[in-house]
Amino acid sequence: MELIIYEMLYIIGLGLGDERDITLKGLDAVKKCEKVYIEAYTSLLSFGLSTDGLSTLEKLYGKPIILADREMVEEKVDNILSEARGSDVAFLVVGDPFGATTHTDLVVRAKTMRVDVNVVHNASVMNAIGICGLQLYRYGETVSIPFFTETWRPDSFYEKIERNRNLGLHTLCLLDICVKEPTLESLCRGRKQYEPPRFMTINTAIDQLLEVEQKHGKSAYDEDTNCVGFARLGSEDQMIVAGTMRQLRTVNFGEPLHCLVIVGKTHPVEDEMLEFYKITTENPEQKGNGIP
């Protein structure tokens, strides 16, 4: 009987830090693939996606890497899936493959086209935030905080935070990333030009959160609400600071990526761990680099 070998689409998590965070299973898969794409709009590795950053990945993985921006994934994904019908193709994702709904859609479309999929998991922000001591099973619904504009100030996240707070649950706030966003002027002209990349800071997120609270006035949170700010989570220079919104909005968290947790009702063990990261008079920018 003839042995039939099916080609595969590998969706591979890269973890949070740098090129070395890929798993051995993921690295084996990358090395066997004819084409390797890397998704570049839901998150970034700590060194970013500069030319040097891609070269670093290519050197370790031994393969050329194709940058897959939002336009390619959302409009031309069928081309990638068609390639996976005739050869092994890798799609690299920062964090874990299912940390963003886009990648769930990719799996659904692959299965619809009868393309076999193999997922290789890795660490993501969804579990790495546990380093601050807040227990993962005491989190409510995660929310995304988008950049406000003069004419667009969405606040649907407010009700979710309010619901979490009423239940005593913590809330992970994922902060906006704008990579390769077309300018309004270029859209009007039909010729795409792109805005410079922008990454929301914890400071901006808190400003927007407080603006929305002032608008709704339901006391879901205020300037004295305890939070934890994370910068470059999973990298060697990660920064973790616990304090009130008022305190955190004055801290310089440095380079992206940032995320924020609004603290709910805490257990004594959680309080004990948070103490290691709290802002103090002696150290107003307490930095947490690993488990204290």
Instruction: Compute, in degrees rounded to 10, the torsion defined by CA atoms 123, 126, 127, 133.
Output: 140
Residue 172 marked in a binding site: no
Residue 264 marked in a binding site: no
Residue 156 marked in a binding site: no
The confidence score (pLDDT) of residue 188 equals: 67
Mark residue 205 as left, alpha or beta (left: phi above 0; alpha: psi -120 to 50; beta: remaining).
Answer: alpha
The confidence score (pLDDT) of residue 4 equals: 44
The confidence score (pLDDT) of residue 241 equals: 98
Residue 18 marked in a binding site: no
Domains of the chain: 8-123 (3.40.1010.10), 126-276 (3.30.950.10)
The confidence score (pLDDT) of residue 63 equals: 87
The confidence score (pLDDT) of residue 233 equals: 94
Residue 82 marked in a binding site: no
The confidence score (pLDDT) of residue 58 equals: 86
Prediction pTM value? 0.88
Residue 124 marked in a binding site: yes
For the chain, residues with pLDDT lower than 70 are 1-6, 41-53, 180-194, 281-292
Residue 94 marked in a binding site: no
Q: Which residues of 120-146 are buried (b: 16+ CB within 10 A; e: fewer)?
A: bbbbbbbebbebbbbeeebbbebbebb
Q: Specify whether the CB–CB gap between 10 and 91 falls below 8 A.
A: yes
Output DSSP code: residue 182.
Answer: B
Q: In this structure, how many other beta carbons lie within 10 angstroms of the beta carbon of residue 171?
A: 24
Token pair in block for residue 90: 């890798």
Residue 43 marked in a binding site: no
Query: Tens of pLDDT along 270-284?
Result: 999 999 999 875 555
State the distance between the two ends of the chain, measured CA to CA, in whole angstroms: 59
Q: Is 291 exposed, middle or buried (0-12, 13-18, 19+ CB in 10 A)?
A: exposed
The confidence score (pLDDT) of residue 289 equals: 47
